[in-house]
Amino acid sequence: MRTLVCHPRLSRVLLGCGLFWFVGATLRTNIQAWGLEVFQEAGIGNITNEKLAYLFDRSRARHRLGQRARRSLHKVGDLSWTRRYGLFMAVGILLLVFSADIGGSRSWFAVLVVTGFFAGLLIVPLNAALQAESDQPSSAKRFSVQNFLD
């Protein structure tokens, strides 16, 4: 743990991964109730938990699309755009607060999808850099440290 945390570049990568998973866990905890409220305020009363879960699964598909796009856009170890992707993801999360008031459930879901896309673009290079730049013989220890910090 000391080796990874004291490394100038990998410590920032670990911080980025940890923040990504913190935001993801926070959204996952709150988004179900929040989504039901947004649809009810928009006058759509027939939304059930199952339908909302289906919409979130489609949003996760956009996250996977972002992951695939990242593979073709940047090389392993290129972290030059990760700050921008993180910023776009953060702006998307902030827009979720206001999207229900502005455009109802459709804009809320669109912002959720775009945020998921940028989240996929963010996490892939961080994980790839961590795997490529850390000591390969001790990869199990690296995974343990990353999971602990996440």
* 81 to 89, 94, 132: CA distances (angstroms): 12, 20, 18
Question: Closest by alpha carbon to 117, among 76, 73, 52?
Answer: 73
Taking the C-alpha atoms of residue 104 and residue 122, their distance in angstroms, rounded to an integer, is 27
Residues 100-148: tens digit of each pLDDT: 666 666 677 778 778 888 888 888 888 888 888 777 777 777 778 888 8
What is the pTM (predicted TM-score) of this model? 0.73
In this prediction, residue 87 carries a pLDDT of 93
Instruction: Specify the number of domains making up the chain.
Output: 1
Residue range(s) defining the domain that contains residue 86: 2-149
Which two tokens mark 130? Answer: 């961590």
